Amino acid sequence: MLKKLAFALAVALVAAVPASVALADRTPADCADGQWEVRPNQTLYSIAYTCGVRVSQLVAANGLSNPNLITTGQILVIPVPGGSTTPAPAASAASGQATATPRPASTPAPALASGPNLLVNGGFEEPYYRLSTPEVTAAVANGWSIWFYNDAGAVYDAPEYEIAPRRNDPFRVRSGEAAQMYFRPYVMHLAGVYQTVVVPNNATVQFSVWGHSWSSFCDPPDDQGMRPCNARLSNSPLWQRVGIDPTGGTDAFAPTVIWSSDKLSWDNFSLFAIQAKAQGNRVTVFTYSRTEFPSQVNNAYWDDAALVVAR
């Protein structure tokens, strides 16, 4: 069943540097003198990310009427970093208003427990089922459902969900023959997949899954397989985490969901894991990804999920 989260809320696009990364680490020598000469294939979003400032700060400092229209050779004024690095307020499912309340407390990933995997199709193998609505097109691994946040404005939109078969790109599959992917160029997403599982009553369970991103300010390869820029030097932050709702609810924004820490895992699978004590005999597990910029490539991949009873 398609789980769609859509709130009538216009969220301001605030391209903030992640609070977990110091601004000084994001500011190369090119930004230090307060000016930046625009190079081929650069965007205002990639320059803001490199220099550790907000897009809105660049727009204001340079009097830009259209942040999507900059030209090669143009000289931009780079404001001095030091403003707030707090991300834009999160949407509240309960009130329908923007709030500054923090996310549920993150829990460190424990050492992996072992035991029978309670998930259906934890390997995200084919066959996949197809969904098509006015908001989303999707190919989803059997046993899983999708969720996404679609605001009333142009900031967040539903990604496209698709199969990532090994035959197309073996680097996007950790094991088996397929992984779940979702993507959408030039838009930002808050999205993931979920599954509700019957577990022993009030058991402590552990959810683990391997994930990574392929996200870049470069355009995809052309018909001759040529890229217009180096994707490894132009990667775009895409944050991933996992969660468990111990009540078995299916709302990814519910305060009952217990989340792992956010992590960047660019072009390399990393393990995400979280433990929780069930409040009854059902839990729901979630994957979650959040793009930081509406970059040309924003792909999230998940593979090899497991839910086990912690011993």
Q: Is the dihedral of CA 298, 22, 18, 50 positive or negative?
A: negative
pLDDT tens over the chain, length 311 residues: 333 343 222 222 223 333 332 222 334 566 777 888 888 767 776 777 677 777 777 888 888 876 667 888 888 898 875 443 333 333 333 323 333 233 333 344 446 667 899 999 999 999 999 988 888 889 999 999 999 988 766 678 899 999 999 999 899 999 999 999 999 888 889 999 999 999 999 999 999 999 999 888 776 555 554 455 655 556 788 999 999 999 999 999 999 999 999 999 988 899 999 999 999 999 999 999 999 888 888 999 999 999 999 86
Q: Is 221 exposed, middle or buried (0-12, 13-18, 19+ CB in 10 A)?
A: exposed
DSSP designation for 232: G
Per-residue confidence (pLDDT) for residue 112, from 0 to 100: 67
Per-residue confidence (pLDDT) for residue 306, from 0 to 100: 97
- Return the amino acid letter for 210: W
* CA angle (66, 85, 23) in 5-degree steps: 95
pTM over 0.85: no
Judge contact between 260 and 242, C-beta under 8 A.
yes
Per-residue confidence (pLDDT) for residue 234, from 0 to 100: 64
- Return the amino acid letter for 118: L
* CA angle (96, 295, 168) in 5-degree steps: 110
Per-residue confidence (pLDDT) for residue 220, from 0 to 100: 58
For the chain, domains (ranges, CATH) are 3-8+90-309 (2.60.120.260), 23-77 (3.10.350.10)
Q: For strand 238-245 and strand 258-259, is the pairing parallel, antiparallel, or unpaired?
A: antiparallel
Structure tokens at 5: 């989260």
To which residue do tokens 């204001």 refer? Answer: 60
Per-residue confidence (pLDDT) for residue 109, from 0 to 100: 47
CA dihedral 194, 198, 200, 201 (to 10 degrees): 90
Judge contact between 220 and 272, C-beta under 8 A.
no
Per-residue confidence (pLDDT) for residue 43, from 0 to 100: 73
